[in-house]
Chains A and B, each alone.
Chain A
């Protein structure tokens, strides 16, 4: 799997958009970008994934650059409950293993 690079931590103000970057410069053409988050002492929660096109669901938006070497997860209106560790993962479809790195610790402040 391609490796990803994320900032160690970031703060965000409640009610504002949170933009979480991820670099995956060695991504292959058949690898998807996945985002999960893990709130303290809970199981990881799937957020969104994409291959080439930008994606949006009820939780977030995923913006993938045209060269696919980086992406940004956008939480449009951050709340205190969005405080968590966010993981950016690249994987081939049907790869049995998810490789979680260190992720970005996001703290939403009132």
Chain B
């Protein structure tokens, strides 16, 4: 079954701790994205990667870091520098080709800082 998986579904962290959210896709997509969603609001882009070993900052990259060492994986680290990390985090991927740049989303990870 092709798709995007995110783990864990729920994550709790203490203030001052770094935490890494996993995102894996088996769709053979070139591009991957991380978004953040706050209650009652739309999605905001954190980072995106169009190819392995390359990534760009989105609108709200401060306090976050990513890596793209493999085509199928795009982990997001929420660092202690992120002042308000409690949110719903969504990973997406797209094929990048002319007929397939539609973004498909994973199920999300809900992060709560205690």
Contacts and interface: CB of A to CB of B under 8 A. Distances in A.
- On whether the two chains bind one another, the answer is yes
Chain A interface mostly = loop
Interface of A: 34, 41-46, 49, 87, 93-94, 96-103
A35 B56 CA distance: 25
Nearest to B110: A41
Nearest to B109: A43
Question: Which residue of A42, A45, A98, A100 has the most chain B CB atoms within 10 A of its CB atom?
Answer: A98
A50 to B, nearest CB: 12
Given A44-B43, A44-B90, A96 B108 contact: no
Interface stretch (B12-20, B70-78, B97-105): B97-105
Contact of A43 (B45, B48, B106): B106
A103 B59 CA distance: 20
Given A43-B4, A45-B105, 8 more contacts: A43-B107, A96-B33, A96-B48, A97-B48, A97-B58, A98-B43, A98-B92, A103-B42
Question: Which residue of A34, A45, A94, A103 has the most chain B CB atoms within 10 A of its CB atom?
Answer: A94
B108 A49 contact: no
B95 to A, nearest CB: 11
B98 A93 contact: yes
Given A93-B98, A96-B50, A97-B58, A43 B105 contact: yes
Nearest to B48: A96
Interface in B31-73: 31, 33, 35, 42-43, 45, 48, 50, 56, 58-59
A99 B42 contact: yes
Contacts of A103: 42
A97 B102 CA distance: 11
Contacts of B88: 41
A46 B110 contact: no
A103 B88 CA distance: 17
